[in-house]
């Protein structure tokens, strides 16, 4: 069958296709799940759980599942009791024919187990679902005319028609046989505790040697796990034995009877039950997300904006704004003369009153050495005027670096405009912006 989560999800699908009114709006839940990180299967499970916010759907499914398990448990208990009572009735006499009791215990059981094994090997296809549905009918387990009950019954009925249910039925059959054999085992142990039995064997056609060989073959497997097996003398003494059989011989036969029931009855059935359980889990139904209903929901969750704006603006470096100090000022032009002798007035009132020290044009190394010597002895802020012809090449920037190192109140820069094309001015300004920003030199 489907897992509980898959069952709830399928029940929601059936009800939604029938326009059932849920306690929570499915469309709202679907939209809220769109941005949650999970696999499609996990998201459809969450969707079903949130739609069933009041737990009505899950309660209905649990009710059917609980009644199916209850019926199986009750039948197992009844089969166990029937095995106990059957063997209790069989062992009423004090002298027991060992092989007759053994055939009653394991004869029909062994034939059924061999028949099931042959049928399983031959019939590799699906088993007729009518066998299962006639045995377990969901309509008889829960009655109700409401949409939820009807859809739940329909869901269970579909699961019972699944091909993997043949293993479910086989597992249930082996479980009933195990219950019966367990009841027989309890009865044998109980009777051997409270009563003293003598075991005998009789045969018109078989010789003593044949019965010895049969007993040894029968006792080979139980002896491997510690059960006692009658020896040759015990077997001969047990033919047509009376109630006065020695207790030691009777215990050997009792041990072989219990060991045979375990090793040839319960253990093979337990192995068959485990095999069917494994095959049932392997053939277990899974939620089919390829159905149009689920594909529509998954496609909605995977929907993305086609014309998403992926433009990333390139941020150009910008030189910091010049910070004018309150101390003395020094102004100088870098490499080129400028037509306006008071060009530094544009830097603000601090460079007009009092008048700054004007160092003229820094043209060669001698000019730079004089300025650096002056800066070493004076505490001033330096304003460098840069002509439009000057570019932030390596030599120019090296000079600015030296000035910035020696000026005690720092260096700021003023870009001087000219009458060239505006595009050229813009490009030059951007180049200087980048160069000054890298050195954290302020720009007027």
The fraction of the chain above a pLDDT of 90, given in percent, is 23
Same structural domain for residues 293 and 384? no
Q: Which of 266, 301, 336 is the endpoint of a domain? A: 301
Is 319 a domain residue? no
Residues 6+ apart with CB under 8 A from 31: none
- The per-residue pLDDT for range 289-313, each reduced to its tens digit, is 888 898 999 888 887 544 445 545 5
Over range 424-444, report the average pLDDT: 78
Q: Is residue 236 part of a domain?
A: yes
Sheet architecture: strand order including 328-334: 357-362, 328-334, 380-386, 411-415, 442-443
Please tell me the predicted confidence (pLDDT) of residue 138. Answer: 66
How large is the average pLDDT for residues 163-178?
Answer: 88
> CA–CA separation, 301 vs 295, rounded Å?
10
What tokens does 219 get?
């006792």
DSSP alpha helix (H) spans, 91-135? 98-122, 129-135
What pLDDT digit, counting tens, does each position of 321-357 carry?
A: 777 778 888 888 888 888 888 888 887 777 777 788 8
The CATH number covering residue 338 comes to 3.40.50
State the CB neighbour count (10 A cutoff) for residue 165. 22
- Choose between 181 and 65: higher pLDDT: 181
Rg (CA), the chain: 49
- Pick the more confident residue, 43 or 304: 43
Residue 349 shares a structural domain with residue 288: no
Residue 415 domain boundaries: 328-443
- Please give the residue that has the higher pLDDT: either 420 or 407: 407
Residue 291 placed within a domain: yes
Banded model confidence at residue 137, pLDDT cuts 50, 70, 90: low
Residues 193 and 266 in one domain: yes
Residues 244, 347, single domain; the answer is: no
Does one domain contain both 256 and 346? no
Task: Indicate yes or no: pTM above 0.75.
Answer: no
pLDDT band at 160; cut points 50, 70, 90: confident
Instruction: Give dist(CA 348, CA 443) in Å, integer.
Output: 12
Q: What length is written for the chain? A: 444
Q: Does 169 lie in the same domain as 42?
A: yes
**Residues with Cβ < 8 Å from 59, sequence gap 6 or more?**
none
The three-class DSSP label of residue 19 is coil
From 301, 319, 347, the end of a domain falls on 301
Same domain membership, residue 33 and residue 160: yes
Same domain, 101 and 234: yes
Are 13 and 119 members of one domain? Answer: yes
Q: Rounded mean pLDDT of 252-280?
A: 93
Give the confidence band of 129 by pLDDT, cuts at 50, 70, 90. Answer: very low
Q: In whole numbers, what is the pLDDT of the chain averaged over residues? A: 83
Q: Burial, 220: exposed, middle or buried (Cβ in 10 Å; 0-12, 13-18, 19+)? A: exposed
Q: State the alpha helices, DSSP H only, in 161-246.
A: 165-194, 208-224, 232-237
For the stretch 204-212, contacts whose Cβ atoms lie closer than 8 Å and that sit 24 or more positions apart, written own/partner, are: 208/235, 208/236, 208/239, 211/235, 211/239, 212/236
Assess whether pLDDT exceeds 70 at residue 132: no
Does any domain span residue 316? no
> Do 296 and 355 belong to one domain?
no
pLDDT at 181 over 90: yes
Q: Where are the extended beta strands (E) located within 306-404?
A: 328-334, 357-362, 380-386
- Please indicate, yes or no, if residue 321 is contained in any of the structural domains: no
The H or E element containing residue 413 is strand 411-415
Q: Based on the domain organization, do 269 and 361 belong to the same domain?
A: no
HSE, CB side, 13 Å, CA atoms: give it for residue 399: 26
CA distance 335 to 389: 9
**pLDDT for 362-398, tens place per residue?**
888 888 888 888 888 888 888 888 887 777 877 788 8
In degrees to the nearest 10, what's the CA dihedral of 111, 116, 122, 127? 140
In a domain, 26, yes or no: yes
Query: 86 pairs with which residues across the strands?
Result: none
Asked which of 265, 283, 301 is the last residue of a domain, the reply is 301
Say how many domains are in the chain. Answer: 2
Please write the tens of the pLDDT for every residue from 59-98. Answer: 988 888 888 888 889 999 999 999 999 999 998 888 888 8
Cα(273)–Cα(266) distance, rounded to whole angstroms?
10
- Backbone phi, then psi, for 83, in 5-degree steps? -65, -40
Residue 125 falls within a domain, yes or no?
Answer: yes
Please indicate, yes or no, if residue 258 is contained in any of the structural domains: yes
């Amino acid at each position: 069958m489907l897992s509980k989560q898959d069952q709830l999800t399928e029940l929601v699908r059936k009800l939604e296709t029938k326009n059932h009114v849920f306690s929570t709006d499915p469309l709202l839940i679907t939209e809220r799940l769109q941005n949650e990180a999970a696999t499609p299967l996990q998201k459809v499970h969450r969707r079903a759980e949130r739609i069933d916010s009041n737990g009505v759907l899950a309660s209905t499914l649990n009710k059917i599942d609980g009644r199916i398990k209850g019926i199986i448990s009750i039948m197992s208990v009844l089969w166990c009791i029937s095995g106990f009572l059957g063997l209790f009735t069989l062992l009423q006499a004090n002298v027991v024919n060992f092989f007759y009791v053994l055939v009653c215990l394991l004869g029909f059981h062994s034939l059924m187990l061999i028949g099931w094994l042959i049928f399983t090997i031959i019939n590799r296809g699906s088993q007729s679902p009518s066998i299962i549905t006639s045995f377990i009918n969901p309509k008889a387990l829960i009655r109700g005319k409401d949409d939820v009950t009807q859809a739940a019954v329909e869901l269970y009925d579909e699961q019972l028609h699944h091909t993997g249910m043949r293993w479910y039925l086989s597992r249930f059959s082996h479980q009933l046989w195990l219950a019966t054999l367990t009841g027989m085992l309890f009865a044998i142990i109980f009777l051997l505790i409270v009563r003293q039995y003598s075991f005998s064997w009789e045969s018109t056609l078989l010789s003593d040697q044949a019965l010895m060989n049969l007993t040894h073959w029968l006792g080979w497997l139980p002896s491997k796990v510690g059960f006692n097996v009658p020896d040759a003398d015990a077997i001969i003494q047990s033919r047509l034995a009376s109630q006065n059989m020695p207790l030691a011989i009777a215990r050997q036969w009792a041990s072989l009877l219990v060991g045979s029931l375990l090793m040839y009855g319960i253990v093979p059935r337990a192995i068959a039950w485990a095999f069917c359980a494994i095959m049932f889990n392997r053939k277990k139904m899974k939620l089919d997300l390829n159905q149009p209903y689920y594909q529509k929901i998954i496609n909605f969750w995977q929907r993305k904006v086609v014309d998403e704006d992926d433009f990333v603006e390139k941020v150009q470096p910008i030189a910091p704004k010049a910070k004018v100090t309150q101390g003395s000022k020094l102004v100088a032009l870098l490499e080129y003369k400028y037509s306006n002798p008071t060009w530094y007035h544009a830097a603000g009132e601090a460079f007009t009153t009092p008048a700054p020290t004007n160092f003229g044009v820094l043209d060669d190394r001698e000019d730079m050495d004089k300025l650096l010597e002056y800066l070493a002895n004076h505490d001033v802020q330096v304003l460098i005027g840069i002509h439009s012809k000057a570019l932030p090449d390596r030599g120019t920037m090296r000079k600015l670096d030296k000035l910035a190192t020696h000026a005690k109140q720092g260096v700021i820069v003023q870009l001087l405009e000219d009458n060239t094309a505006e595009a050229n001015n813009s490009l030059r300004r951007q180049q200087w912006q980048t160069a000054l920003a890298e050195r954290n030199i302020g720009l007027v």
